[in-house]
Chains A and B, each alone.
Chain A
């Protein structure tokens, strides 16, 4: 807020006239100007129409650094409305500094309500996780994507990967996976496991753990992906077939968490973060999805978790 006030204090002549028509923090509703929002919405519609296909878009700079979630943020800003209830997570956590910062920026420029509860949110922006609480029809999950091109590891040149997608020429990718099996005995991809969407395009699901990949398949919620620095938007519409790349005799598998449970809520059904103890051989495990964990604990002890709901009347939509 203060940083924006500083910029305001140096506004001059014509710009001041332009800005005074807008809200008191000096920027349009949801920061982006309307023509850019329209452009991003058109690209989102195209992405939904061609599941898994990367659609180029303008990706204007916003006051968050490139690589810190600008793509997801632009998608969110283009579709958020004053009635939306917003949730932002980073690594599954609502309270991570980056999630706090993005939530602050969105609520500052839109005044929309925010929550930590997955069930209450209409719009969820995420970095590296799909919530462990199942998503519902009508919800939108927006992923922040660092590298949208799943083929880049086998072919760094964009000119060539574009053609490979167009022709469905994915041989190099299969060879890479096969070679990993020959060398290591298994596919070694940890996060960012490539998937085939609607039987057509190979897609990068963003660096989510393998644990989250099956949740993309036939998801009732709309899944949108924004890569700001790389200027690409793509989407998985609700109820779309999403298959992780695998061989018949070497099936896809998620992280093995056998014998582990969340230290706080006892969950064995959610993705767990490892927290090493000072003793070099011991670790504690806790839920990565903090809201999921809170909810399980509050249901069992009838204590409701703190809800982060704020309404900031900083600006009004046009």
Chain B
């Protein structure tokens, strides 16, 4: 009975679990510690926190280790844990003007008040694999440490905060005033998304969406399927304070992006102004923040002939954890449904 081999039962599951677990500790190499992952795979940790929807770096680091480095699986572990704890309350809206900036750039102006701060970025680096690190890791590490000390000694400390580029545009009346505040904010972790979704729900979905999924849809718009001609008004990465009822509870690292987009008019007789798309996600994830801002803007379109303009299309297909689960479920046995289809096919073949 060949196919019945799928019936393995409990023993097979436990064995598979054990086999997998042994892999997370390494066979030939030393086991990775959480502090190593936190420091040296920080972007991976950030991505897991963002898609997992829980800001807890240490848990994200362990999840990444347990998932053998797969950020999607790790984000799933984090999200599953997250829903086992009740929501205790909501923080006040964060004010990114108070961000302790580690990096901020504006592509819209050559220079902006406060200056362009590149920070630690591979943007202008040459993408060579550093084979020298294969040879002598210790020497390279000592050199890097020395170089960092040099930068610290010669540099000037950054100011506590930076003015925002969009405020400059707003003061001059060139940018649409902020969308009016919604009366009731949605919480997509507690309610089903109803369509058309309000903006708070859209932004929450995008913030938890899978980076690659957002990128693919945002890229389709950038290439021409619903072009919005985005310019990065400002992209900033840094730490922002969190408060509940005005009382500070800590800091989280976020990436924020504001894209400035093509002009609009409120009424026929009005002067035109630029419009804006907004992206914000946990940790440092610039691809996600920019993609999110582009999609936020393009979903404000009145017409939706292209996928990226259609909020149902974007919001329901970019949740990585849901998409991954459904994709993998095709591995489950489907022999009953297949039998039903097979039966139909045979009968039609007989009749014809």
Question: Using a CB–CB distance below 8 Å, which chain A residues touch chain B?
Answer: 2-3, 6-7, 10, 12, 15, 18, 27-28, 31-36, 39, 56-63, 65-68, 70, 90-93, 95-98, 100-101, 104, 127-129, 146, 157-159, 184-186, 188-192, 207-211, 229, 231-232, 255-256, 271-276, 284, 286, 288
Contacts and interface: CB of A to CB of B under 8 A. Distances in A.
A209 B84 contact: no
Nearest to B52: A61
Nearest to B7: A95
A255 B189 CA distance: 42
Nearest to B81: A7
B84 A58 contact: no
Contacts of B343: 190, 255-256
Contact of B58 (A10, A35, A93, A159): A10
Contact of A104 (B13, B80, B348): B13
A245 B329 CA distance: 28
A229 B81 contact: no
B83 interface: yes
B280 to A, nearest CB: 22
Contacts of B347: 186, 256
B76 A61 contact: yes
B150 to A, nearest CB: 36
A1 to B, nearest CB: 9
29 contacts: A28-B84, A33-B84, A35-B86, A36-B86, A58-B191, A61-B83, A61-B321, A63-B80, A65-B324, A65-B328, A66-B324, A66-B325, A67-B322, A91-B333, A91-B335, A92-B336, A93-B7, A95-B9, A96-B6, A97-B6, A128-B336, A146-B326, A190-B337, A190-B341, A207-B337, A211-B340, A256-B343, A271-B336, A274-B339
B126 interface: no
Given A66-B326, A68-B332, A58 B189 contact: yes
A66 B322 contact: yes
A188 B348 contact: yes
User: Interface centre among A62, A67, A98, by most B CB within 10 Å?
Assistant: A67
Nearest to A271: B336
A15 B81 CA distance: 12
A36 B82 CA distance: 13
A127 B4 CA distance: 17
Contacts of A129: 336
Interface of B: 1-4, 6-10, 12-13, 17-18, 21, 34, 58-59, 62, 66, 76-77, 79-86, 189-196, 312, 316, 321-322, 324-329, 332-337, 339-344, 347-348, 351-352
B347 to A, nearest CB: 6
Interface SS, B side? helix
Contacts, number: 174
A254 to B, nearest CB: 9
A89 B340 CA distance: 18
A12 B189 contact: no
Contacts of B326: 66-67, 146, 229
Contacts of A2: 17-18, 21
Contact of B325 (A65, A158, A211, A284): A65
Contacts of A28: 84
Contacts of B84: 27-28, 31-33
Contact of B341 (A7, A63, A191): A191
Contacts of A104: 10, 13
A272 B332 CA distance: 19
A231 B335 contact: no
Contact of B312 (A70, A159, A190): A159
Contact of A159 (B9, B13, B195, B341): B195
A185 B2 contact: no
Contacts of A127: 332
A186 B34 CA distance: 60
B13 A100 contact: yes
B317 to A, nearest CB: 11
Given A190-B340, A210-B340, A255-B340, A67 B328 contact: yes
Contacts of B12: 97
B78 to A, nearest CB: 9
Given A91-B335, A231-B193, 14 more contacts: A3-B21, A6-B66, A15-B85, A34-B86, A58-B189, A63-B80, A65-B324, A95-B9, A97-B8, A97-B13, A157-B312, A209-B339, A275-B3, A286-B1
A65 B76 contact: yes
A158 B318 CA distance: 16
A217 B8 CA distance: 34
Contact of B336 (A31, A33, A273): A273
Q: Which of B66, B326, B340, B341 has the largest count of A CB atoms less than 10 A from its CB?
A: B340
Given A10-B58, A158-B312, A186-B348, A61 B333 contact: no
The 10 closest A-B pairs by CB, nearest first: A66-B325, A56-B192, A190-B341, A60-B83, A67-B329, A67-B326, A65-B325, A190-B340, A191-B337, A209-B340
